[in-house]
Structure 1
């Protein structure tokens, strides 16, 4: 049975990851308690857990601040993603059957993302975006690197949601760039993929401006 504190934790974290609770916003225990029809005690417990994980910063008697995504965090996450995804592709290109399986999986992820875009479902769009890139990272045979990449999933999901919120052209651009990345994967073009991936990440999360 899921405890009230776990229910609150999952709800608030999902709101943060999808951008419904935007970075810099203050949220009160009372607000969440009223939304979920629970007492403030489980809300307080969930807030403390989310503070430990770095999603919230608590202020006594005022509530909790949704911690904004810091520029340095963006740079570090994007750098790590570019390195790990390129490394994974370099590994899988030597295995034609696995490469074909990866391309099929990327096609499926793009279909889901297109459907989310058409429906205006931003959380599903961001989730499908994270899945597309996870598929590439998991295609390599280094389980340690794949595990590290999965640890970035929540951060990249949140970053994507914030980057494309209210920007239909940005979301459409993500889809177009995913199609280009998919074609480079299918061609086994590791260097072309690396260059396109760096550009894609810059366009999505840095507005096309590298550091």
Structure 2
């Protein structure tokens, strides 16, 4: 509810809230787009230097990100950004499969109308293919458009809750897998074709194939043994 007296609050409080929000957004973007195969530590001093703010908004922003589950504050060491685990990858991709395949079947009924919107999003994705983060953001918009078109607000809200994990995983997949961007565009085109033809099973099958190939790309670092390196650097392991 709008507070009619909000404009009368002290300016210093407004500046403090604004500083915290700026640091929070900067940190969240940094964490979500971190393609590192290993866990990373951040200190308050480092974040202060990067954002040009004092320790108080940095500390509050770190606590917010910890509440979001994106990092772990370790006393006397800093904020630990954990690596993406195989368990997390499997869980998120299973959830995506359940939601997106069902939604593709429902959305196929919109045919040309939805396909035209997806074509526009794909064209934008081609334009930003050189920018990994922007490419994955477009990827998210593409899939979210299909989910929303299915008309189930409960599933749409649940899907939104996966956004942060999808962004971080998507950056990882594109960064590590050479040529994955071109493959993603081709797989998206197959999904659009099923929708344009009004073929629910064709659209769902194209989504399933796309997610299966994405899962393969996400598993590459684990297959190469990178997970063991990250585990060795985990604060939980170090404390044992």
TM-score tier, shorter chain, comes to: 0.7 to 0.9
- The normalised TM-score by structure 1 is 0.88
CA shift at 1:10, angstroms?
0.6
In structure 2, distance between residues paired with 1:13 and 1:32: 12
Q: 1:151-176 CA distances to partner (integer Å, 9 max, x unpaired)?
A: 21222122111111154411111111
1:3 has 2:18 as partner? yes
Q: How does 1:1-211 map to 2 (within 5 A)?
A: 3-19=18-34, 24-94=39-109, 98-117=110-129, 120-207=130-217
In structure 2, distance between residues paired with 1:196 and 1:136: 13
| Higher RCO, 1 vs 2 (CA within 8 Å, ≥6 residues apart) | 2
In structure 1, distance between residues paired with 2:218 and 2:81: 26
Q: Give the RMSD, CA atoms, in angstroms.
A: 2.0
CA shift at 1:81, angstroms?
1.6
**Contact conserved, 2:71 with 2:82, CA < 8 A, in 1?**
yes
CA shift at 1:32, angstroms?
0.8
Change (3 A) 1:135 1:17: same
For structure 2, the residue ranges without an aligned partner over 5 or more in a row are 1-13, 220-240
In structure 2, distance between residues paired with 1:191 and 1:152: 24
In structure 2, distance between residues paired with 1:205 and 1:47: 30
Q: 1:62-117 CA distances to partner (integer Å, 9 max, x unpaired)?
A: 111112222222222212222222222322334xxx33221111111101111111
**Contact conserved, 2:106 with 2:200, CA < 8 A, in 1?**
no
Larger radius of gyration: 2
In structure 2, distance between residues paired with 1:126 and 1:83: 20
- The normalised TM-score by structure 2 is 0.78
* More divergent stretch after superposition (20-29 vs 122-131): 20-29
Q: 1:46-75 CA distances to partner (integer Å, 9 max, x unpaired)?
A: 111101111011111211111222222222
In structure 1, distance between residues paired with 2:59 and 2:21: 11
Q: 1:136-163 CA distances to partner (integer Å, 9 max, x unpaired)?
A: 1111121111111122122212211111
* More divergent stretch after superposition (19-28 vs 149-158): 19-28
In structure 2, distance between residues paired with 1:13 and 1:126: 15
**Contact conserved, 2:40 with 2:81, CA < 8 A, in 1?**
yes
SS in 2 for 1:54: coil
